[in-house]
Amino acid sequence: MSQNKILQIEKELLDEFELFGDDWEAKYNYIIELGKTLPTMPNQYKTDDYLIKGCQSRVWLKADKENNVLHFMADSDALIPKGIIALLLKLVNHQSADEILNYDFGIINKIGLQQHLSPTRANGLVSMINSIKQYAKAK
Amino acid sequence: MLKKKYHSYLYPLSSGGGAIIDVDIHKTEFADVPLRLEAGTPNIEAVIGLADAIHFINKNGGIHQFYLLEEHLKNYLYQRLFELQDQLDIYTTLQSPSVLVISFNVKNQHPFDVGTLLNNYGIAVRTGHHCTQPLMKYLKIQGTVRVSLAAYNTIEEIDRFIQALHKAIKMLL
């Protein structure tokens, strides 16, 4: 089953988030800290070419495809978006394009993140997911 | 006021119900001004809303009372924000004549992060460039957090906002 790897990581993340219960501050602290673990993206890639449209803050995402496996790097000038993209990359980084395209990104609803974002802010989240999918679809 | 003799030269930008007398394949005969310019259902709720807003202001002491109340709230909000001035960049000054809108940033923090956290504490603020991108570029910032109050806000709500701002700053540092 090709889907297992991402779902396995999702399950591990959900287990961690379950510990926080309804404590949104704890969830956000976790996400902010996760962002800080993101490997540095070289400044040369922080250009409009890699900028995700639709985010209020600037979020850059770059991917290299090697043997149908995607290797991502990302950064943001704001802490929460950086944490969110780090969370998404935990799931999809170094996975095959097919696995990524088969994944529904259900984790966002399962950890209740979207309900803590206002609609315009949640748009950025959708843009991040779309951008990851576009990289997976690209030749 | 446009002279009556010129009324027949005015044609509607958008046509619709109530604005015509007769429509033919080759010719449309519009109703007289003002009906020809008021196609469709008039903005009834806005008219009623405006009347109600005027009534609300008059019932609560008149427009000058509202001005004094908002000045009171503005002074208090500034006072509370200035207590945090080491951690904030405040872009509006108390001296500048303005409505009750204050733009600020938490030093070295993105307005998006501050706004998102305040939102979760139940404080609604606007974040972003507020349609003034040239100004943001001049200030070399990505945007600001903008807190705005109106006469129906209270001193207690300002205290809650400051308390939430304290917590948000702590989370981001």
Q: What's the pLDDT score for residue A139?
A: 75
pLDDT tens track for A32-44: 999 999 999 999 9
pLDDT at A2 > cutoff 70:
no
* Phi then psi dihedrals of residue A9, to 5 deg: -65, -40
CA distance A10 to A24: 19
Task: Tell which of A80, A114, A125 to mutate to test the B interface (max B CBs under 10 Å).
Answer: A80
Interface touch A57/B110, C-beta < 8 Å: yes
Give the angle A51-A105-A47 at the CA atoms, nearest 5°: 5
Q: Provide the mean pLDDT of chain A.
A: 90
Q: Say which residue the tokens 């996760």 belong to.
A: A34
Rounded average pLDDT over A79-104 = 95
Q: Residue A75 and residue A55: Cα distance in Å, rounded?
A: 13
Give the model's pLDDT for residue A84.
93
Two structure tokens written together for B1: 């006021």
**Separation CA B58–CA A58 (nearest Å):** 46
Interface contact B119-A116, CB threshold 8 A: yes
Q: Which ipTM value was assigned to this complex?
A: 0.85
User: Given pLDDT bands bounded at 50, 70 and 90, which one contains residue A1?
Assistant: very low
Range A55-75 average pLDDT: 93
User: Of the residues B22, B131, B156, B170, which is catalytic?
Assistant: B131
Task: Supply the DSSP string of A8-57, one letter for each residue.
Answer: HHHHHHHHHHHTTTT-HHHHHHHHHHHHHTSPPPPGGG-SGGGBPTT-SS
Digits of tens for pLDDT over chain B (173 positions)? 788 888 888 888 887 788 888 888 888 888 888 888 888 888 999 999 999 999 999 999 999 999 999 999 999 999 999 999 999 999 988 887 778 899 999 999 999 999 999 999 999 999 999 999 999 999 999 999 999 999 889 999 999 999 999 999 999 98
pLDDT of A112 reads 80
Residue A3, pLDDT > 60, answer: no
Separation of CA A139 from chain center: 21
Task: Tell me the chain A residues in contact with residue B115 when contact means C-beta distances shorter than 8 Å.
Answer: 121
Cβ neighbour number for residue A55 with a 10 Å cutoff: 23
d(CA B56, CA B68): 16
Torsion of CA B70, B71, B77, B78, to 10 degrees: 150
**What's this model's pTM, rounded to 2 decimal places?**
0.82
Look at residue B29 and give its three-state secondary structure: strand
d(CA A127, CA B2) in angstroms, rounded, equals 51
Between chains, do A57 and B171 touch, taking CB under 8 Å as contact? no
For B171, which of A29, A81, A117 is closest by C-beta distance?
Answer: A29
Which secondary structure element, helix H or strand E, spans residue B128, and what is its range?
strand B126-128
Query: B119, A118: Cβ pair inside 8 Å?
Result: yes
Give the closest-approach CA distance of B49 to chain A in angstroms. 27
- Residue B86 among the catalytic residues: no
If one compares A55 and A94, the residue with the highest pLDDT of the two is: A94
For range A119-132, the mean pLDDT:
86
pLDDT computed for residue B8 by the predictor: 82
